[in-house]
Each structure stands twice: as C-alpha cells, then as structure tokens.
Structure 1
Amino acid sequence: MISKTTIDQVYETARLEEVIGDFVQLKKSGSNFKGLSPFTDERTPSFMVSPVKQIWKDFSSGKGGNVVAFLMEHEHFTYPEAIRYLAKKYNIEIEETERTDEEKEQANERESMYLVSEFAQKYFVETLWETEPGKAIGLTYFKERGFSDATIKKFGLGYSLDQWEAFTKAALEKSYQLEFLDKTGLTIVKEQTDGTSKKFDRFKGRVMFPIHSMSGRVLGFGGRILTNDKKAAKYLNSPESEIYHKSKVLYGIYFAKQAIAKEDNCYLVEGYTDVIQMHQKGVENVVSSSGTSLTPEQIRLINRLTKNITVLFDGDAAGLRASLRGIDLILEQGMNVKVCTFPEGEDPDSFAKNNTYEDLALYLEENAKDFIQFKTSLLAQEAANDPIKRADTIRDIVNSISKIPDRIKKEVYIQECAKLLQISEEVLYNTLAQIDKKDRVEAGKKLKQEQKAFEVVKNEPVVEKVDVLYELERKIIEMLLLYGDQKQEFEDLVLKENEEGELALEPEVVEAKVYQKVYLDLQEDEIEMTNDHFRNIYYMLIGDLNEKEEFTVNGFLSGLDQEMVSEVSSILMENERYMLHDWERKDIYPKEREKGVAQLVGETILTLRCNLIRARIQELQSQTEGRKEDNSEVLEEIMNYLRLNKLLNAKLNRVLS
C-alpha cells in the first residue's frame, strides 16, 4: 500500500496541465487550456483543462476528473499505478508497505503481464552490459550502428542470450509465472504428447528493442537476429496480447511525444534504428510504425499531439507506391501530410548517422514536399507518355484528394493538381464529384445492410422531462465548490405581516460565507438532498469548508473515490463549456459569475424552496381527492403554501398563472 503522505504529496506537486500536456496538445484558452479529445475521433477541441481547479473535462466523451483520473482513463492505470507514475515524474519517493505473496497473486492479468515485460526489459539490459556474450555480440552491434552508451541506455536496448531457456529460467527463478511469460509471448510453451510442456525463449540470440506505451510502460519487444540464419526472420515482434496491439502502438512515441507537440510536427519512419539514430542526432520528434502498415489507430496517436506528419521514405524504397496508401489514411484523419525521400542508397538511419544535425534538419526542411506535389511527380514519371497510365495517375491523385474532409483544402489541392498535371480544373472537379458520388452510394448500401440486420421499431420521439430538483441540487454543489469559502453579503427574506395585515417578505442584509448561508438555509427548511451522490458530496463539502483553514478543490478531490471525482469534475467544468466557443473573438462577453455570487446563491435557494412548496401543494391536493370528511384544514394549508409560493416567485420576478 502507498502511504497517505506520499499520495498527498503527489496531489500537491503534480501539475495537471503538465501531465496532460505529455499526451495531448493543449492551447491556452483564457485561464484554461483546450485541445482535441484523446478519447474520441474529433476534429474540433472539446477537451478542457483547468490549471486553477486542477481538473479536466472531455465534453465529447463525458469523461472528466483530476490528474489521477486522467491517467486511469487514458493509460488504463490502476489507482496505485497512476500515483507511482506521478511520483516518478516529479521525483517523489514512495513510502509503501511490502506487497505480500497474496497481494501479488491478486494482481490482475494485465498488471502481471506488465510486470513480466518490465522484468524482461531489465533482464535484457543487464545481459547486454554485464555478460560477455552481451558485450561481445549485442553491444558491439549497437556500437557499429553508431549508437552512444547514453542512447542505448535511454531506449532500454538489450540482448537475449543465444540459449534456449536462459531468459525463461531467470524469470521463473524470480517467481514470475509461466502463464504470463506465455501470454506476453516472451516464452513459447509447447505441450508434449506425454503431458509435459517444453518451453524456450522467443527472442533467443537477438538484440532487443523494447516497445513503450505513450506513458512509458513496456508493452512488447522487437528482436533482431544477428546471424545469417535463413530460416529465422530478421526481425521478430512480440505477438498480440492483452497489453500489446501492434496496430495501436508507435515505436518511440514515449521519447518523441514532447518534441512532437513542441515542434508541431511528427516524422514517421519505418524501422527502430531509424527512430533511434535520428533521435540521437537531435531530431527527436520521430516515430516508427515498426514495419507494419500504418493504421488509423496509430495516426490518431499522433493526432493527439500534432496535425502535421512528415513521412520519410528510403531513397530506394521498394514498393514506394504501396506505401502511399498510408498517406490516404492520414488524409482521412484530417491531418496535413508532407513526404521526404532520401538520396538513393540512403535511409533515415544512414543519413542521420553520416550527417550533422544542421545538415539533417536542413535536408528535411528543404526536401519535404507537400503530398500532392510528391505523389504527382512520382506517378507522372511512371505514366511517362502513356495516355492510359496518365489517366489512371490523375484518378489516383484525385482519389487521394477525395479523402480530405476539409472542403477548402480539397479545392486548394485540386487547383494545385491542375497546374502540376496541366489539366483543367473542371475535369478534376468532375472526377472528384464522381468519386464522392460513388462513396455516397456505397455508404448508402452499407447503411441499408446494417438496417436490415436489425428490426427497427419506429416509436414516437420521447421528449425528456427536465428533472428540476436534480438540476437545483447539482447547482448547489457547484456553488459550494466554486465559491464555498467566499464571504458575501446576502439578502435574507423574513416573512412578516405588513400594516394591512398581509404577509410580506422583508429583506435583511447579513454577511456570511457561501457554505454557511447554504447550510443554514437548507437546515431551516429541513431540506435533504434527494440524489445520493449529491447528498454524499454535499456533507463532505460542508465538512471540509467548515474544518479546513484553506479549502482547495484539488485537496477536496484527493479524498474522493474516482466515481465521485468524475461527478465533481463534470459539475465544475460545465461552468467552462462556453469557453470552447471563443465568444470573445465574436465580440460576445459572457457575464462573470463571480460578480453576482450572492444573487446566484439566493436565487438558487429560493427556486429550490418554490419547487419543494409546489411538491408539497400537490401532495396535499392528492390527500383531498375522494375524501368525504372535512378538508378545511388541508385546504387552508394549501392556501398558505400558495400565498408563500406567490411571494417567493414575485421575489424571483416570475409571474404565476
């Protein structure tokens, strides 16, 4: 268990905007930050971060919370994992009791696989640096590639001994279970006919490249064989598992994420060594698809950090045209794409190794072409003087343009394409229209097929009724969170008889803190919150505001469970939703609530009273229905409540029918 002292220190030290900034590209928006949702495939920002309140809200998915909640949602960490991650990031020493064998057994499957992977990474590193074969074979290979000691250590590169069970035996001796060695693919287990099992290391005799998640956890490995064994694959990756999905992972993203966001551009290469060599040379905003075809999930990883991708191709890359399909996928995600090829015989690894940082950066800047220019020149060369091939080339390029969701960008690219291919814009627009029509027809067919798969029952649209009581209770929680410890002058309403003998509400000004005013008013009216969540949060809030010298939202959230954290964050960040629309740029200036806190509190309490009075009136009226005995007392009570309701509504400037 992690000590309460450590947890408190983590909450006090961690800065939400810094932590989320490692995963999402944030831009200043007033006193807050905004960015694209990391949980949905959106193209307009709806993700808000409040540095003052230290909470975030994703309006597109409905998720929200504090810094720990973000790591639990985004990285699928457990609560202790999130605390450990933050402690490591901010160099906080963790105080905790030793985990028992029973607690280790209770760890879930994913965590067990992570632990096995992390042990493997450390084992391969130790083998590389501390064994004779590791130094003679593995370290020599990395040195020949031009990697420095610092780079080798930074990327966690290692070596797996050329022995059948070296790693597996070491892991079992450390009490790691064979089940999880098998599930991560580190060990291959084959059942024998006699009921026994044979086990051996998957990465036997290979140099090892650990593959990290965006948060730095080891998900799997890539291993390169160094012998000329024609039967063995040159590169071998971990198999798909509960924690490793190659289509959703980019090699180097953990080391590149901050540079990508800072440079607002991501270089995409093919291999592990391309990433490492360029990173070592100083170009750190580089990732690799690890030899697999680029996937939408991988593109969305980059999209969280930047809208700009530069794809780097080898000078003599085989199947370059096939690789262009990845560009269409990038365009579909609404991103900006450039392409850069290296001189013949060079790749990103060799070019970075043989040039200075200045030469590399200059080359990338001068030779990165817009995708339409690159694709046009490449395919036009292939078509040469063949009219049929030329027509196919034009259609191919227009097909790529059709993938772009932004209509303005489409038009700009059509105009550029017309100039480069020396063809009329009208022809290209017609071709684009044909492609779009075909896509719509196919989408329509797909929709019909999906509709046929389900029996659709047409019902009259149901108009959801607003739960007034829920909204009012939610508003009270919001006021306590935002302004609870502020001192205000309130106008209390006292019910008195005037000179004519009629009941009237007379105002009396009192000074109090917001939480005191709310608590006393609800106590006076014997009002209990009907929503369980709100009731629990309410009493915890009143307790904190009353007992603590200095109340902070972040401190309050640290004492709640994650379900309550999400609820409280949603309430608080709803207050910030209007900022997403940049009203100030449209010369619209929303009223600042702080300027009318007393009025807001007073009106909310009055509205709640009116709502409860109406409910009481309905209850009393139902008592009179069908009754034969005297109803005069009940009717008199109803009349009193009606008069009070009228007075309260008059105070709220509402006219009752």
Structure 2
Amino acid sequence: MISKSTIDQVFETARVEEVIGDFVQLKKSGSSFKGLSPFSDERSPSFMVSPVKQIWKDFSSGKGGNVVAFLMEHEHFTYPEAIKYLANKYNIEVEETEQTSEQKEQADERESLYLVSEYASKYFQKILHKTDQGKAIGLSYFKERGFTEETIKKFQLGYSLDEWQAFTDEALKQGYKLDYLNKTGVTIVKDEKHFDRFKGRVMFPIRSMSGRVLGFGGRILIADKKAAKYLNSPESDIYHKSKVLYGIFHAKQSIAKEDNCYLVEGYTDVIQFHQKGIKNVVSSSGTALTPEQIRLINRLTKNITVLFDGDAAGIRASLRGIDLILEQGMNVKICTFPEGEDPDSFAKQNTLEELTVYLEEHAQDFIQFKASMLFEDSKNDPIKKADTVRDIVNSISKIPDRIKREIYIQECSKIMDISEGVLYSTLAQMSKKDYQDANKQYKEEQKAFEVIKNQQTRKKVDVQYELERKIIQILLLYGNRTEDFEDLILKENEKNELILEPVIHQSKVFEKIYLDLQEDEMEFTNLKFKELYYKIIDTLNQNPEFALESFVNDEDAEIVAEMTTILMEEERYSLSNWNRKNIFPKDKSDSISQLVSETILSLRCFLISKKIEELSLETKGDIERQYKDILEEVVGYKKLDNLLSRKLNKPL
C-alpha cells in the first residue's frame, strides 16, 4: 500500500496539463488547453484540460477526472501504478508496504501480463550484460550496429539465451505463472511442453506511450532459412501491434516540440536516429501502417515525414500507407535515401548536421514524390500514364480539406502536364462514387435507425434535473465565495396583496443555497446529485479552505466523471472559438449572486407549477370532496407562482 503522505504529495506536485501533454498535443485556449481526444477518432478538438481546476474532460467520450484518472483511462494503470508513475515523473519518493503473496494473487489478469512483460524485459537485459553468451553474441551485435552502452540501456535492449527453456524455467522459479507467460507470448506451451519463443535472439522491448512493456521484437543472429529474421510477440490483452508504434515513449515529447514525426520501418532505424540526436522518430515495426498508429501520431502532431530506403519495390509496396495518412487529415512528406542505404546505415555514416540537412533538402511533398516516381515508370506509355494520374487523383480525393485538395490538383497538373479541368473531372467522378457509396450506407443505417426511433417516445427536457445540476455546478465553482444577495421576503401590502420585498444581506454561496433549500424543504430527486450535494455542503462546512482539486481526488470514479462534466462545461464552449467570431459570452463569475438567486427561484417556480398540476388532478378525482379547499390552495400557489415569474421576467 502506498502511504497517504505520498499520495497527497503526488497530487500537490503533479500538473495535469504537464502529464497529459506527454500523451496529447495541447494548445492554449483561454485559461485552459484543448486537443484531440485520445479516446476516440476525431479531427476537431473536444478534449479540454483545466490547469486552474486540475481536471480534464473528453466531450467526445464523456470521460473526465483528475490526473490519476487520465492515466488509469489512457494507460490502463491501476490506481497505485498511476501514483507511482507520477511519483517517478516528479522525483517523489514512494513510501509503501510490501505486497503480500495473497495481494499479488488478487491482481487482475491484465496487470499480471504487464508484470510478466516487465520481468521478461529485465531478464533479457540481465542476460545481455551479465552472461558470457549475452556479451559475446548479443552485446557484440549491438556494438557492431554502432549502439553505445547508454543507448542500449536507454532502449532496454536484451538477449534471449540460445536454449529451449532458459527464460521460462527462471520465470517459473521466480513465481510467475505459466498461463501468463503463455498469454504474453514469451513462452510457447504445446502438448504439455513449454519452450522460449525468442530463443537465441536479440530483444527489442516494445513500450507504450507511458513506457510500459507491451511485447517484444526479437532478431535472429544466425542464418536459418526456416526461422523468420524478426519475430514479434503475438497479440494479447496488452499488445495489439496495429495500435503500437516502436519508439513512441522516447519520441513523444520531441514529436510535439518539433511538430513533426519521422516514420521509419525498423527498430534499429529508430535507435540509430535517436542516438544521432533526432528523437522525433517512430517505427511501425515492420507491419503495414494502420489508421490506429496514424491516430497515435495525430495526437502529437499533424505532420509526418515517411522515410524510405533506396529499395524502389519496397517504396511502391508502402505507398498505400500514404493514403491512410491523408485520410486522417494529416500532412505527409516522403524522403528517400540513396540506393543501398536505409535510415539506420545513413544515420550511422553521417553527422547530425549532415543528416538534418539531408532530411530538410530531400523531403518532398507526397504529391511531388508520388508523381515523379510513378511518372518515371509510365512516361513512354499513355495507358500507364493515365493509370498514374488516376492513382494520384485517388490519393488527393482522400484529403478531407477542400482547399488542400484544390492546391494539390494544381500541383499535379503542372507535374503531369495535364489540364486542371480533366483532373477536377476525375476527382469529381471519384468523389461522386464515394458519395454514392456513403449515401447508400447512410440510407441503410437510417432505415435501421427509424425502426428503433419509432419504438421510442421523444424524451422531454427534465427541468428539475437541469436545475439540480446547475446548483451542483454553482457549488463546485463558487461555493466558498462571499456575495451580496437580494432575498425576497413575502409580505402583504396595505391592500392585503402578496408582494415580494427585497432585503440585501451578505453570505457564502453554499450557505445561501443550503438555507434556501432547507427553508422551502426542497429535496434533490436525482440520487447522484443528492449524494454530491450533501458531500459538498458537509466539506464546505468543515473546511473553509476548501480546494476543488482535492475534493475531486477523494471521490469515486462515477461521481468524478459527473463532476468533471459539470465543471468543464464552460471550457466546452471555448472549443467553438466564439471570441474569433466577435461573440463574447458573459462570464458567470461576474454575477454569481444573480445566478444563485435565479436558479433557486427557477426551482421554486418549477416545484410550485408541479404542485399546482398535482392539486388540479386531485379536483378531477372527487369534485365534491374538499373541492373548495383544494381550489383555494391552487389559487394561493398560482399567486406565488405569478410573483416569482415576474421576478424572473418569465411570461405569465
């Protein structure tokens, strides 16, 4: 268990904008930050971070909370793991008691897979540095590739002994279960026998954006036609190769800072570039590029530079990935190296300055690269040239931005020496087909939707829910503020008419709300709001120095999600950039007392109208019985309702 003092220190020190900034590219938006949702596929920002409140809210998925909640949602950390991660980031010493064997057994399966992967990584590193076989074979290989000791340790490179069961036997001896060794893929279990998957290979741990070991890539060092040169961990609950990029952990900050990501093919390409000084580089680990991998980069930057070696056949096979990048609304450039060179070898043979200059001078816009490359193959063949034009226009059609599409059409026209009109016509045909396909799918989905819609009744706006929610919002944002309030005292004038007489007094916002609700015996009907209301009132009564962020930290996940939705509502409107449109919403903090009074009055009006409706129904039940008394009560409530309505400037 982690001590409370450590947890308190972590919450006091950690900055939500700094931590989330390691995973999502954030841009200033007023007093908050905004970015693309890391939990859904989107092109317009709906993810907000508030440094003042130390909370975040993702309006696309509905998730929200504090800094720990983000790590638990995004990295699938347990609560203790998130605390440890933050403690490590901010150099805070963690005080904790050692887990018992019983507590270890209670860890869920997913966590067990992480533990096995972490153990395997440390084991392979130990074999590389501490055994004769590891040093003679594995370490020698890495040194021959030009990797320094510092780089080898930074990327946690390792070696798996050229023995059938060396790793598995040691892991079992240390208490790790065979079931989890099998599920992570480090061990293969077959016919009641088990053996090491990565026997005799140098090891490249594949880490998540937060640095957790998800799986491994292993390279064989002997010539064996039956064995694959590279072998990756199989899919598991923690490793999905289509959603992972090798090197993202070490590259994320540099990618955001440089506003560009270099995409290479292999592990050693990433490591060599990083060692040379170019750190904003990741690899798809030899697999075909996927939309999930692109979206991972998209959180950090809109710009990708794809680096190809001099192998023309390999480049053609990889061109599909360019279209995928364009579909995500990203900007893509391509840079090729001289024939016989790849990113690894070229970086090794050149200085940082030479490498940087080469990348800057040889990075081409995708349309220039694709046109020049395909045109070379088709310049003497009209039919091939026509196919090339269609191929390029097809890529342009993937771009969501219309202005960019038009610019690329103009560029393609110059390069391919063909009229813009023909290219626009071709683009329109492709767009029409895409539209027709999309429209067909939409109609099919709409039919299914209509069936469901017809089975449902239209939901009315729940006025009481909205008003109760507004009260919670006021308490969370301004509960501890002192304001001048205008109270309305119900009196009879000389004509025996009911009037509301204003009286000014000073009070804390939470005290005003509490007393008003108590006076009218108004109860929350929403159980979640009711629970939250009494917790806030109790906390404010006991702790005058109430800190919002500490209150959020102490609540359970369900309540925190509701709180962050309420608290970040103001920030949500900033996503629309109203100020740029010369629309300036009024700041609620300018008129807190008016906001409180109007909300309470609105709730009173609603409850009175509800009471009138209930009493009216009673008269229909039994006209003779107490009809007169009920009618008088209705008239009394109606008068009060009219008074309150006039105060709120509502139509009578």
TM-score normalised by length of structure 1: 0.96
Q: How does 1:415-494 map to 2 (within 5 A)?
A: 415-446=410-441, 456=451, 459=454, 462-494=457-489
Structure 2 distance, partners of 1:454, 1:521, is 45
Q: What is the match of residue 642 of structure 1? A: 638
- More displaced stretch, 639-648 vs 86-95: 86-95
* Residue 136 (str. 1) matches residue 131 (str. 2): no
The correspondence for 2:210, drawn from 206, 215, 219, is 215
Q: How does 1:242-281 map to 2 (within 5 A)?
A: 242-281=237-276
Q: What is the match of residue 610 of structure 2? A: 615
- More displaced stretch, 131-140 vs 260-269: 131-140
Residue 480 of structure 2 contacts residue 544 of structure 2 at CA under 8 Å; is this kept in 1? no
Segments of structure 2 that go 5 or more residues without pairing to the other structure are none
Q: What is the match of residue 237 of structure 1? A: 232
Q: What is the match of residue 557 of structure 1? A: 552
Structure 1 distance, partners of 2:444, 2:485, is 62
Residue 64 of structure 2 contacts residue 565 of structure 2 at CA under 8 Å; is this kept in 1? yes
Q: What is the match of residue 200 of structure 2? A: 205
* Residue 653 (str. 1) matches residue 649 (str. 2): yes
* Residue 598 (str. 1) matches residue 590 (str. 2): no
Shift of 1:452: 8.7
Q: How does 1:88-487 map to 2 (within 5 A)?
A: 88-191=88-191, 197-446=192-441, 456=451, 459=454, 462-487=457-482
Paired letter, 1:216: G
Structure 2 distance, partners of 1:521, 1:445, is 56
Q: What is the match of residue 529 of structure 1? A: 524
- More displaced stretch, 451-460 vs 4-13: 451-460
For the aligned residue pairs, the C-alpha RMSD in angstroms reads 1.7
Q: Are the structure 2 counterparts of residues 436 and 456 from structure 1 closer, same or farther at C-alpha, using a change threshold of 3 Å?
A: same
Q: What is the match of residue 586 of structure 1? A: 581
What per-residue deviation string (whole Å, max 9, x for no partner) do you get for residues 420-472 of structure 1? 11110011111111222222333345556767999946628854211010000
Paired letter, 1:549: P
Q: What is the match of residue 540 of structure 1? A: 535
What per-residue deviation string (whole Å, max 9, x for no partner) do you get for residues 269-328 of structure 1? 000000000011111000000000001111111111111000000023533111111101
What per-residue deviation string (whole Å, max 9, x for no partner) do you get for residues 528-559 of structure 1? 11111111111111112121132221111011
Q: What is the match of residue 502 of structure 1? A: 497
* Residue 625 (str. 1) matches residue 620 (str. 2): yes
- For the residue of structure 2 that corresponds to 1:570, the secondary structure is helix
Structure 2 distance, partners of 1:556, 1:443, is 47
Structure 2 distance, partners of 1:313, 1:75, is 31
Q: What is the match of residue 15 of structure 1? A: 15
Q: Are the structure 2 counterparts of residues 593 and 150 from structure 1 closer, same or farther at C-alpha, using a change threshold of 3 Å?
A: same
Paired letter, 1:252: G
Structure 2 distance, partners of 1:117, 1:460, is 49
Q: What is the match of residue 69 of structure 2? A: 69
Residue 624 of structure 1 contacts residue 634 of structure 1 at CA under 8 Å; is this kept in 2? yes
Shift of 1:236: 0.6
Q: What is the match of residue 81 of structure 1? A: 81
Structure 1 distance, partners of 2:19, 2:466, is 32
Shift of 1:398: 0.8
- More displaced stretch, 613-622 vs 346-355: 613-622
Q: Are the structure 2 counterparts of residues 536 and 457 from structure 1 closer, same or farther at C-alpha, using a change threshold of 3 Å?
A: closer
Shift of 1:612: 1.2
- For the residue of structure 2 that corresponds to 1:459, the secondary structure is helix
Paired letter, 2:610: A
Structure 2 distance, partners of 1:271, 1:532, is 54
Q: Are the structure 2 counterparts of residues 144 and 559 from structure 1 closer, same or farther at C-alpha, using a change threshold of 3 Å?
A: same
Residue 505 of structure 1 contacts residue 647 of structure 1 at CA under 8 Å; is this kept in 2? yes
Structure 2 distance, partners of 1:637, 1:268, is 76
What per-residue deviation string (whole Å, max 9, x for no partner) do you get for residues 457-505 of structure 1? 6628854211010000000000011111111000011111212222211
Residue 255 of structure 2 contacts residue 281 of structure 2 at CA under 8 Å; is this kept in 1? yes
Shift of 1:654: 1.5
Shift of 1:199: 0.9
What per-residue deviation string (whole Å, max 9, x for no partner) do you get for residues 375-425 of structure 1? 011001111311111111111111111111111111100000000111100
Segments of structure 1 that go 5 or more residues without pairing to the other structure are 192-196
Q: Are the structure 2 counterparts of residues 467 and 454 from structure 1 closer, same or farther at C-alpha, using a change threshold of 3 Å?
A: closer
TM-score normalised by length of structure 2: 0.97
Structure 2 distance, partners of 1:76, 1:437, is 42
Residue 620 of structure 1 contacts residue 634 of structure 1 at CA under 8 Å; is this kept in 2? yes
Structure 2 distance, partners of 1:558, 1:231, is 55
Shift of 1:79: 2.2
Q: What is the match of residue 60 of structure 1? A: 60
Structure 1 distance, partners of 2:304, 2:153, is 28
Shift of 1:93: 2.1
Q: Are the structure 2 counterparts of residues 207 and 53 from structure 1 closer, same or farther at C-alpha, using a change threshold of 3 Å?
A: same
Residue 8 of structure 1 contacts residue 558 of structure 1 at CA under 8 Å; is this kept in 2? no
- For the residue of structure 2 that corresponds to 1:164, the secondary structure is coil
Structure 2 distance, partners of 1:655, 1:313, is 70
- More displaced stretch, 37-46 vs 633-642: 633-642
